[in-house]
A and B are shown apart, each in its own frame.
Chain A
Amino acid sequence: MNSGSCSSLMEVGYDHHHHGHEELHVLAVDDNLIDRKLVEKLLKISSCKVTTAENAIRALEYLGLGDHNQHMALTNNNLKVNLIITDYCMPGMTGFELLKKVKESSNLKEVPVVIMSSEYIPTRISKCLASGAQMFMQKPLKLSDVEKLKCHLMNSRS
């Protein structure tokens, strides 16, 4: 929960009224190292701050939703995540399961979650969108995809 004591213009958080001049902090989740490098570069070029995770469990831990810190509130503003972009197919917990956990969380349900996949399976896409995914992106990702993503996010905030 945002304590509200430091409300400088540079604060990036769950404030729905802030406009897109502050850096977006994106959590990118993918088990494939090359894809992680690629998505990280794409996001950095688009002026985002990026944190990467190699699986959904690590991502949940980072978000404060891991098994051991369910009672921990994320008070460090630098860790606040504005967007989660995750691969669908991952060993262990899938991106879809990660999406559901985020949407079930009272702290994080407002954070947009984007699902990526190398496979184009319409039922998979609609399942993700129906469970609250902001957007689906087809891999491999290109620069224009990230630009589309940012536009989509900006529009959905206003």
Chain B
Amino acid sequence: MNTVVAQLQRQFQDYLVSLYQQGFLDNQFTELRKLQDEGTPDFVAEVVSLFFDDCSKLINSMSRSLERPENVDFKQVDSGVHQLKGSSSSVGARRVKNVCISFKECCDVQNREGCLRCLQQVDYEYKMLKTKLQDLFNLEQQIVQAGGAIPQVNIN
């Protein structure tokens, strides 16, 4: 038995489980992983990459809308939060999604300060998740290069 592969697989498994336990990911990420197959081995990485690009774009445009206190376009901000909430929910980015819930509430009552706090938080959370998932994908790559298979991980 190739112990390098086994070690890497163990590392991968433990890391992925920790991401769920720490609340970075939820069950929808598991669902996303189910869609990946030999024909599309980069599906999850591609989707999350699109998600992170989306986060960046939306955060920038919402930031511009919130910039001037006397002229906040809450409609635009609400639209951005709606998009972000949808995307984060669809990929299983649990913490990002949860910030969006608070963000929407601030938007609904036109609380600019609250919105700015949420914006900062959502920026932090998506960047944090991006780093974590990059580490996860690196582990995956190492497993594949060592000739191993990516473990199916069951989260309960």
Q: How far is the CB of A115 from chain B (nearest CB, A)?
A: 15
Closest to B90 in A: A140
Q: A32-B83, A33-B50, A118-B86 are in contact. List 18 more A-B contacts (CB 8 A).
A: A32-B90, A33-B54, A33-B87, A34-B47, A34-B54, A35-B87, A37-B47, A38-B32, A41-B40, A45-B35, A45-B37, A118-B89, A139-B86, A140-B31, A140-B89, A140-B90, A142-B31, A143-B35
In the complex, A116 Cα to B51 Cα: how many Å?
A: 20
Task: Specify the chain A residue showing the minimal Cβ separation from B37.
Answer: A45
Closest to B83 in A: A32
Q: Does chain B have a CB within 8 A of A4?
A: no
How far is B78's CA from A91's CA once the two chains are assembled, in angstroms?
A: 12
Q: What's the A-B contact tally at a CB cutoff of 8 Å? A: 50
Contact B35 A34 (CB under 8 A): no
A34 touches B79 (CB 8 A): no
- Check if A81 is an interface residue, CB within 8 A of chain B: no
In angstroms, Cα B129 to Cα A93, docked, is 34
Interface, chain A (partner B; CB < 8 A): 32-35, 37-38, 41-42, 45, 89, 91, 118, 139-143
Q: Are A139 and B89 in contact (CB under 8 A)?
A: yes
List the B residue with the shortest CB-CB distance to A38. B90
Contacts of B54 in A (CB 8 A): 33-34
CB neighbours (8 Å) of B51 from chain A are 34
> Which chain B residue has the least Cβ–Cβ distance from A41?
B35
> Which 6 pairs of residues, A with B, have the shortest CB-CB distance?
A34-B87, A140-B90, A142-B31, A41-B35, A140-B28, A140-B89
